[in-house]
Structure 1
Amino acid sequence: MPILRDHHLPLAPDWECKATIDDNGIIQLADPAIASLSTGDVRPNTWMLEVRYRATSRWKLPAVTIIDRSKSQATERFTQYLEPNETGKRLINLTGIESLHQLQLTLKHLTLEGDATLLGFHNPNLASGAILIIAPHPDDAELAAFGVYSQYPENTWIVTITAGERLKRLDKQYWSGLDVSLEEASHRKGFIRAWNSATTPLLAGVPAERLVMLGYFNDTLTTLYEKPGTVAPSHSVPTLKPDAYRTWNKLSLPTDGQSRNTGQNLQSDLAALLASIKPKTIITPHPDLDPHADHIASTRHLQAATEQSGHYPENLMLYANHLKSTRGFPRGPAHAAAGVWPTQASTQAPRNDKIASFPISIEVQKQKALALHSMHDLGGTPGLERQLKRKLKRLLSGIPCKDWSDYSGHDFFQTHIKAHENFVLRKIDQTKSRGLEPLSGSQPLSK
């Protein structure tokens, strides 16, 4: 018997329409006005089909393939994978289609109820102003938003808060035997990761002048938020200062030359950047969906810096690179469609969030794979136990082995090289400076 799990976010769609799915998988919309929206209205925006599904296998990944039949030649757009051995409410990502007319779904290893709901969301116009991406660690900007920022490189600023220097064991250094002390190896890890942050976005055309490394210390951001006046040393190199990782910055920061790892300094640097850049859109971790302590604290520091600077963006786009107790999401091999995070939110939570999904071309997905390869922390080979578990899951998934593109050993090369990049979108209330609060009652689903 499949396990019942409903995925739910308290969303406020711009379009909402009842739909039916017939025995051939053809979607019929109840509202003729929405069904006849032009390509100019459909293509730039986000579309989700809320359905109830039932997996028909304990192990095989349920698959929903979206087919566009609006033209003479039916076109297969992409496939989204769901959880095996489960039943419940899900959102099927239709973003990237050109017409809402004559859409068809083909199903493998699942059934769908006939009643569904189409949800549509206006995507923000990212070309109309500066975009600021907050990356708690080197590689977070690439994992969450490489596809987005590669489309708007001249508008993009990327601020990486920490150097990600922490190394817990000497045998985990990138090059075995290179350094003989944990302090040396940790310092070198931060050095090369800061270099990654300073160079990888160049692959997408982001100017070097818009790449900023703050150099604060890994796994200390919560302490810095809770005790902003207290100096928190690096866990691995107690004598280290953030200046060590600002070598490649092209602009000056308020704390340059006298930097200490404090929340006051971090917020001062962020506030100065906000006042200078004046971003229209900020992309930052979702403080409720992404459980990583540094990710939560990064957005909290951003909130404090926003209040300090007095500059509020129009759009806040929130991402989740990590999910509590959930591995392998978004499901399926690289290049599949990206579903919406497996979350549950209280039905009492206000419906004020939107989904912003951005389709990523296959060429940009390949460039993203290259960008992730340039990040040293995503290299290496998984251990034998992990390799065996992964191989067994793939054999049981019902997906041919040739369809799993092994660009590298890290899970992110499957989960984050997808046909979409998804964000929770919040419009900021300029008069009340609201928009950074967490969802009330929202929590990741545990597996």
Structure 2
Amino acid sequence: MGDRKYFGTDGIRGRANTLPMTAEVALRVGLAAGRLFMSKDDRRHLVVIGKDTRLSGYMIEPALVAGFASVGMDVRTFGPIPTPGVAMMTRSMRADLGVMISASHNDYADNGIKLFGPDGYKLSDETELTIEAMMDQPLDQGLAPSARLGRVKRIDEAPARYIEIAKAAFPKSLSLQGLRIAVDCANGAAYRVAPTTLFELGAEVCAVGVSPNGTNINADCGSTHPHTLAAAVKEYRADIGIALDGDADRLIVCDEKGQIVDGDQIMAMIGLDWARRGRLSGGGVVATVMSNLGLERLLKAEGLTLERTSVGDRYVMERMRGGGFNLGGEQSGHLILHDYATTGDGLMAALQVLAVMVESGRPMSELARQFEPVPQLLKNVRYTAGKPLEAATVQAAIADGEARLNGTGRLLVRPSGTEKLIRVMAEGDDESLVKAVVADVAAAVQAAG
């Protein structure tokens, strides 16, 4: 796939004001992506831009706008809006391109740029590499004549449109009346839209993480710090807790007792509900290699498959589109409901969980334990040089581990995409065996690296 200079596994991401997350790089993205997505015809071309609540968004957004406008592309900015909202609005407004400025669940000092095509899907690796190649061209290349510069407008109603689309995904026959919901918006992109959506559907809403100041996004709140949500559920005696991350494309749920419910259990709950209604397409669910073996066994018992992909929601989405699946996601709470969205959407997923809860009349604590998770252990082993996975000793240790787990579990050994780390994960019915296998493989990697 060639060496990437700017783009990583999910757009461009890094510490704000240091490469690659500088105003100049953002300007170059606007210039390059603008030129690539402006076809040769004479019509006006449009890009829509959303962002989360990071301080550095005020630096990145104007630089992108300048790049797009200077090649002749019209720009519509939305202000703070969830990532899935940008994907939706790209299609809804017939834009040529959508941009989300966010570093998702990272802390405020980081930022990122995600690009969506006119169909609302994240760009392919090939398209990103084409943009990369164009970004290093001279800054004055392909500029529009003065009379053809792009026009720029702020669209204030974009969040309201997203709220209406989200509400339409909740069954018309149901209401959240009588439910008390704690919601943690991570001081991020959904700080207004999530509480408003839940309130308008009838719930009593107790919101935390809804006071962004530019530097408190994901700070001890949101889906990566679920203890804050658990505390809010107990404090407000809520029936359920919902935590989103900084750009609101992932979801973690908390039951009324303060117990955390991860993405695997949520996928099981929605998947089995949809299967019962004849709504699940593709004959199963798509998840990554990290999803628990317990989920796979539960689905198999119901005659459904679990298709596994590499880690990353873009790979889940690719498999869903290729196999006609409408439900997929990651253990971390990145859930994709293809009937409603072209990317992960925490609020949409939460509404499906709430629909199951309301219809069943059962408390979340009963619904949350769809399957008993198989003991799972992940160890990250740092190395300094070389390719430890190619060492004969490591390959022998992996083969031995797989043989010991045969039929009762699985072993997964993979390099990190961003750091010099080897991730060793095993799961199985025998917890002590899982620990022993992980320890042995990790020791072999350590010795080789």
TM-score class, shorter-chain normalisation, is under 0.3
Q: Point out the structure with the larger helix share.
A: 2
Higher relative contact order structure (alpha carbons within 8 Å, sequence separation ≥ 6): 1
Q: Give the alignment's TM-score, normalised by structure 2.
A: 0.25
